[in-house]
Amino acid sequence: MKKPRDLDAELQALQQRAKALKGKRVTQFGELVIATGADKLDMEVLAGALLAAGKADASARDGWRRAGAAFFQGQARSSAKPANGGDRRAADGGGATPG
């Protein structure tokens, strides 16, 4: 006979995982704000910029996406210097994503 599933325990585990993922996301957003230097802005300025970004059209967001990808590529290059002094490029040639 099959052992019955403990649905309460599974639900609790899923809720704990969701909470951990939310915490990780908040931490990553904070790290992004610091890495970009946006932590030096007033809260009102940063909030206004984020509100404007949420309402921006697709072409503006595409430009920001390219600038963000370039930021992360430049950050990866400056933090990891190859031993041979060569240029570091992503193997897929695409934009780097935050980890």
pLDDT tens digits for range 7-33: 999 999 999 999 999 999 999 999 999
Residue 70 lies in a domain: yes
pLDDT of residue 9: 93
Is the pLDDT at 85 greater than 50? The verdict is no
Please return the burial class of 54, using the count of CB atoms within 10 Å of its CB with bins 0-12, 13-18 and 19+: exposed
**34/59 same-domain check:** no
Same domain? For 49 and 72 the reply is: yes
Rounded-to-10 torsion of CA 46, 25, 56, 45: 0
Q: Is residue 91 pLDDT above 90, yes or no?
A: no
- Number of domains making up the chain: 2
Residue 96: inside a domain, yes or no? no
Q: Is residue 89 part of a domain?
A: no
Domain with 32 in it: 8-40
Residue 5, pLDDT above cutoff 50: yes
| 84 within domain boundaries | no
32 and 49 part of one domain: no
